Structure 1
Amino acid sequence: MPQGVIINCMTVFVGGILGAFLKSHFPKKLSEALPNIFGLSAISMGVYLIIRLQSLAAVVLAIIVGTVLGELLGLEENLLAGLKKLEGKLPMDMSEEQMEIIISLIILFCFSGTGIFGTMNYAMTGDYSILYAKSVMDFFTAIIFGTTAGFLVGFIAIPQFAIGMLLFFGGTYILPFTSDLMISNFKACGGIITLAVGLKISNIKKTRVLNILPALILVFPFSLLL
């Protein structure tokens, strides 16, 4: 039973819905201050993962080639277009800023290196500590951004659940074919992406982070080759 995955998704759902309900009662000072704190938290998580890398060349090559593929495929642009179509079917209006928040949170909740590795590690070893730590951060992050982006933040738990279950049941078949070197580089690659998300949330540097995600796949063969 993938309890870690379910709990992580529930924290996002409950946090997002709670944040939307608290929108008119949430202190403005907290709404302005805490997003930067969560951005800094994501930056810290990214740095923590980056220092685990063992092959700088493999990770850098994966980031560069992955970004090229992501940009050519227009991953973030297509997601934005899909969200805008979804927006037209929902009884709510969303600003460009809210759409940016949703994209950043989809990446942070669904595709962070910590979340992906945490789920795979949980599937293989039963160690849910990484996912539970992520759940705490996701809960408060969802509350904060739920006050600005509305109920849609809570429903990010749906694609998060689908991705988490896929990783959970696929982890048993993937990890046995990987080495410690591959896992370390994978975590470092996820750390770079998490760092970019943190910079974006903190309004330090805007990056089309979703377009970097192919690097998470490429880092395995590049680690083997290099």
Structure 2
Amino acid sequence: MPTGVLVNGICVVIGGIFGGLFGKKLPKYIVDTLPNIFGISAMSMGISLIVHVSSLSAVILALIVGTLIGETLHLETRISSGLHRILCRNQQSDRQAEFMSVMISMIVLFGFSGTGVFGALNSGFSGDHTILFAKSILDFFTAIIFGATLGYAICITAVPQTTLGLILFFCSSSLLPLLTDPMIADFKACGGMITFAVGLKMSKIKHYNVLNLVPALVLVMPFSYLWGLLPF
């Protein structure tokens, strides 16, 4: 069952409702501090996954090649632009355009983030929902913060987020019989590195176009398998 995906979507909706009701009452220093805590939490999640790596060389190679592919294809820019074209077809006032810009950013953050993509795939591969449960906590409080600005409309972002999560979950679970334990361990380690990059970005330590790293998740298991065949 895609428990983690569903819980994540529900947390965004509940957080959006809380944000619409109480978000404007939050002190500014709390709103400014929480993203740094989110970043530290994401980095901790990443480290907990990286330490179980099986073939570090294969993971690093997948991350390098995957990032080169993502950067060449401008994945993050293309996804953001595509969402903007879909949601902003009509002429809008400056205020409406700003509103839609923030909404698109939230859809990318909640649904298309490295942690979201990795968490859904990991749930399908291993049945471990830990990453998505942790992400649900972060998304809950993030939805409260942005609910103060966008109101209850932030809840709408849970729809594309949950849809994408379910697609990734069911696609990955169908591949499970083909995988070995070292391949899954290396997949988790690669996802941990991407999650760590998400944490750096959230804490404003270093900006990454995180979606451009996601192709590494597709490459890491074939690379891990091939690396295991090498005679050393």
TM-score band, normalised by the shorter chain? 0.7 to 0.9
- Maintained 8 Å contact 2:70/2:213: yes
Separation in 1, partners of 2:191, 2:115: 13
Separation in 2, partners of 1:145, 1:67: 30
In the TM superposition, residue 87 of structure 1 has moved relative to its aligned partner by: 4.6
Separation in 2, partners of 1:149, 1:204: 26
Separation in 1, partners of 2:208, 2:123: 24
Give the % identical residues: 46
Report the CA distance shift for 1:22/1:93 in structure 2 as closer, same or farther (over 3 A).
Answer: farther
Bigger mean CA deviation after superposition, 23-32 or 79-88: 79-88
Give deviations 1:68-123, integer Å, cap 9, x for gaps. Answer: 11111111111221243325658734289947953444405632x3343134433x
Equivalent in the alignment of 2:186? 185
Give the SS at the match of 1:144.
helix
- Maintained 8 Å contact 1:119/1:131: no
Give deviations 1:39-90, integer Å, cap 9, x for gaps. Answer: 1100111111111111111111111111111111111111221243325658
Report the CA distance shift for 1:209/1:132 in structure 2 as closer, same or farther (over 3 A).
Answer: closer
- Maintained 8 Å contact 1:109/1:138: no
The number of residue pairs the alignment matches comes to 221
Report the CA distance shift for 1:80/1:152 in structure 2 as closer, same or farther (over 3 A).
Answer: farther
- Maintained 8 Å contact 1:47/1:191: yes
Q: Which runs of 4+ in 1 moved over 6 A?
A: none
Separation in 1, partners of 2:151, 2:75: 24
Separation in 1, partners of 2:143, 2:60: 31
In the TM superposition, residue 12 of structure 1 has moved relative to its aligned partner by: 1.4
- Maintained 8 Å contact 1:46/1:193: yes
Equivalent in the alignment of 2:67? 67
Q: What is the aligned counterpart of 1:94 among 95, 98, 118?
A: 98
Q: Does 1:196 align with 2:201?
A: no
What root-mean-square deviation, in Å, do the aligned CA atoms of Structure 1 and Structure 2 show? 2.8
Separation in 1, partners of 2:156, 2:104: 16
Equivalent in the alignment of 2:143? 142
Q: Does 1:117 align with 2:117?
A: no
Could you tell me the TM-score, scaled by structure 2's length?
A: 0.81
Structure 2 gap ranges (5+): 228-232
Structure 1 gap ranges (5+): none
Give the SS at the match of 1:24.
helix
Report the CA distance shift for 1:96/1:212 in structure 2 as closer, same or farther (over 3 A).
Answer: farther
Report the CA distance shift for 1:67/1:109 in structure 2 as closer, same or farther (over 3 A).
Answer: closer
Report the CA distance shift for 1:60/1:135 in structure 2 as closer, same or farther (over 3 A).
Answer: same
Give the SS at the match of 1:22.
helix
